[in-house]
A and B are shown apart, each in its own frame.
Chain A
Amino acid sequence: MVSEIRDERVRSVSRLSRLLSRPELGAAAGTVLVFVFFAITAGGTGLFSAKGIINFLEVSAQLGILAAPVALLMIAGEFDLSVGSMIGFAGILIAIPAVFWGWPIWLSLLFTFAVCGGIGALNGLAVVRTGLPSFIVTLGSLFMLRGLTLGLTRGISGRTQVSGVHELAQNDPLNSLFSGQVFSGLIAWLSNIGLIGKRADGLPSISGIPVSIVWWIVLTLACTWLLTRSRFGNWIFAAGGEANAARNLGVPVARTKITLFVMTAMAAALFAAIQVLVTGSADTLRGTQKEFEAIIAVVIGGTLLTGGYGSAVGAMFGALIFGVVQMGIFYTGIDTDWFKLFMGAMMVIAVLFNSYVRNRAMRSR
Chain B
Amino acid sequence: MFSLAKLVKPALGLLAGFTMMAAATTLAAADETRVVFVTHGQSGDPYWSVVKNGMDDAAKTLGVKAEYLAPETFDMAKMAQMIDAIAASKPDGMVVSIPDAAALSAPVKNAIASGIPVIIIDSGGSKLTHDLGGLLFMGQDEFQAGVTAGERIKALGLTKAVCANHEVGNSSLDDRCAGFAKGLGVDVPVMNGVIDPTEMKNRVIAYMTAHADTQFILAVGASGAEPTLAALDELGLSGKVKTGTFDLSPTILQAVVAGKMEWGIDAQQYAMGYIPVAMFDLWKKYKIMPIADYPTGPGFVTKDTAASVIELSKLGKR
Contact = CB atoms under 8 A, between A and B. Distances in A.
A118 interface: no
A286 B197 CA distance: 8
A203 B46 CA distance: 36
Contacts of A59: 198-199, 202
Given A129-B2, A160-B45, A160-B49, A331 B210 contact: yes
Contacts of B315: 158-159
B207 interface: yes
Interface in A185-236: 199-201, 203
Interface string B182-209: 0000000011100111110111011101
Chain A: number of interface residues, binned into ranges: 35 or more
A121 to B, nearest CB: 16
B202 A150 contact: no
Nearest to A167: B254
Given A163-B250, A199-B236, A281-B226, A51 B209 contact: yes
A56 interface: yes
Nearest to A129: B2
Given A158-B315, A286-B197, A288-B196, A330 B207 contact: yes
Interface in A108-134: 129-131
B227 A158 contact: no
Interface string A168-192: 0000000000000000000000000
Nearest to A271: B198
Interface in A144-174: 146, 150, 154, 157-161, 163-164
B237 interface: yes
Interface stretch (A26-34, A241-249, A272-280): A272-280
Given A154-B49, A158-B49, A285-B44, A336 B210 contact: no
Contact of B210 (A129, A163, A326, A333): A333
Interface in A37-73: 45-47, 49, 51-52, 55-56, 58-59, 62
A264 interface: no
A250 B251 CA distance: 55
Contacts of B190: 336-337
A46 B209 contact: yes
A284 interface: yes
Contacts of A331: 206, 209-210
B203 A130 contact: no
A55 B204 CA distance: 10
Contacts of A62: 198
B316 A158 contact: yes
Interface in A257-298: 275, 278-281, 283-288, 290
Interface residues of B, number: 41
Contact of A163 (B43, B198, B251): B251
B195 A164 contact: no
Interface string A328-358: 0011010011010000000000000000000
B83 to A, nearest CB: 23
Given A58-B202, A330-B207, A337 B222 contact: no
A55 B205 contact: yes
A304 to B, nearest CB: 28
B235 interface: yes
A327 interface: yes
Contacts of A327: 202-203, 206
B227 A279 contact: yes
B209 A52 contact: yes
Contacts of B135: none
B196 A286 contact: yes
Contacts of B199: 59, 326
Nearest to B4: A130
B206 A279 contact: no
B249 A203 contact: no
Contacts of A55: 202, 205-206
Nearest to A62: B198
A330 B201 CA distance: 13
Given A59-B199, A154-B49, A161 B227 contact: no
B53 interface: yes
A135 B207 CA distance: 37
